[in-house]
Structure formats: structure tokens, C-alpha cells
Amino acid sequence: MKSIKDNTEKLQKVLANLGHGSRRELEALIQEGKVSVNGQLAKLGDRIDVQTQPKIRINGHLISTRLKEQDICRVLLYYKPEGEICSRNDPQGRATVFSNLPKLKNARWINIGRLDINTSGLLLFTTDGELANRLMHPRNEIEREYAVRIFGQITDEQIRQLQKGVQLEDGPASFKYIQAQGGQNANQWFNVVITEGRNREVRRMWEAVGVKVSRLMRVRYGNIYLPKGLPRGAYTELNINDVNYLRDLVGLNSEEKSFLTPEQRKNKYKRLRAKRPSQR
């Protein structure tokens, strides 16, 4: 008997691919009863076939389910300062990373992972939901490098422990790489590499061996580095080579066009200063 092809996908995946947020954010919206399909409240686990053109509403607003193949995949590199959160809105009125990003028409910036409020450094955003989802998935083991400042002395045994692995409440974790970078007095700097990006993973690993982190900054994601000269709270748009490097990492087809103009591609320094940090 010939099998019938299943064209359905999980609702949160479809919405993420359409640029309406991360899967985590969309799962929360579904659980809160803010998403409906064909007039019925959606629930986690629902699957849809976009080819049937279902009527999907988020917060009562009808959305388009047509994928715009002509859209160009864009990726921003943002220098997140301490004190900003990685949510679009905050009931407490705290500053969010989205407030400094350029405005889009018929698209949304999707953050590729998160940094907690007290962590600064490199944060990537894209208009491509599938790219964001794949880059965040633990199975791809993409390296994230951090500069970490700790207070006090650390022993060789503690270093070995962090390399071998420590037990966290959500499972074992270890640094793929750890290297001392010097310091002054009781403040010591290290560079560390992880490949999962769990919530507060770097801080919790140091805490597991009795060490307190006093400063944390992400400096690299894959082979994308935080550029020198980029001010805190500012962004730069990645060129097509860097975008395709990220797409190739997770098995997506290369882009053939870039959103950047030829002049912007030539003058990287101007692109770095395309958006100045807001004054607070």
C-alpha cells in the first residue's frame, strides 16, 4: 500500500520558521492560550500543514503563512551590555536587547541563544527562524567562547574538575577548553569554551567547584568573533560569507544575495558603527 506523505509540522516550528519568535517563546504563547488555528485555541503538540493555508492568529492578529522565498537571510552581531535582558518586553521595565536593533518590515529579529542580564558580549540575531533553531540545537555542538573573571585563587585540581566534568542540576557539563589569561591581585581571567549553551551554564560550572564569577563576556560564536571597535549596545550586520558560514554549519543552503550594499561591504568600520549605543 502506498504511504500518504505527511506534510505537517509542529505549530511552534512553523511559526518560528515564519519569523514570529524562537520555539521556546512560541511554546510559551501556545501554553498561555494566545495562539489559535482555524478559530480553535492551539495546544502544544498540534501539527499543521501550511499548504492548506490555515488561519493562524497570535494574540488575535491573523498572520501570513506564506514563506517568502525571495527574502534574504540576515544576521546581526550585537554587542550586548550588562543590564539588558534577552526578551522583547519586560514587565519590570528593564532594557531589552531588541531596543537597539534596526526596525524590520514584515519580519522579526530572532535571537540565537541568550545571555543573562549580567553577561555581556556577542549575541547573534537573524531573520531566519530555521537558522536560529538549528544553531541553538545542542546536537550541532557549536562552540561558544567566553572571557571569565573570577575572584580568588583557583587550584589545578579545580581546573581538572572543570575539564573532566561537573554535575549540574540539569546534567553533567564540562569545558571543552580552558586557558588562564592572567590578572591582577585576586582577580584572575580565563577563556573557556562550551558547546551547549544551557541557561547560566558557564557561571554554574564555576560555582560547582566553589568559584564565584565576577564578570562574564561572550567573545566568540563558532568562528564569528566579537569585533574590536564595536561599542557596547551597537551592532554590525554580517556579510554574505559569514552568513553562509553559519548556514553551512547547520546544513542549510547558501544565500546568493546580501542585504548589504556594495559600499557597506567595502567599508566594514562604518558598518560597525551603524548604530550607536543608546544613552541611559
Report which residue type is found at 58. Answer: I
Told to judge if 248 belongs to the known catalytic residues of this protein, a careful annotator would answer no
- The residue annotated as part of the active site, out of 49, 90, 116, 170, is 116
Query: In whole angstroms, what is the distance from residue 113 CA to residue 115 CA?
Result: 7
Q: Long-range contacts for 113-119 (Cβ within 8 Å, ≥24 apart)?
A: 113/144, 113/197, 113/221, 114/86, 114/199, 115/80, 115/86, 115/218, 116/86, 116/199, 116/200, 116/203, 117/82, 117/83, 117/84, 117/85, 118/82, 118/83, 118/216, 119/80, 119/82, 119/216, 119/217, 119/218
Q: Which residues are catalytic?
A: 116
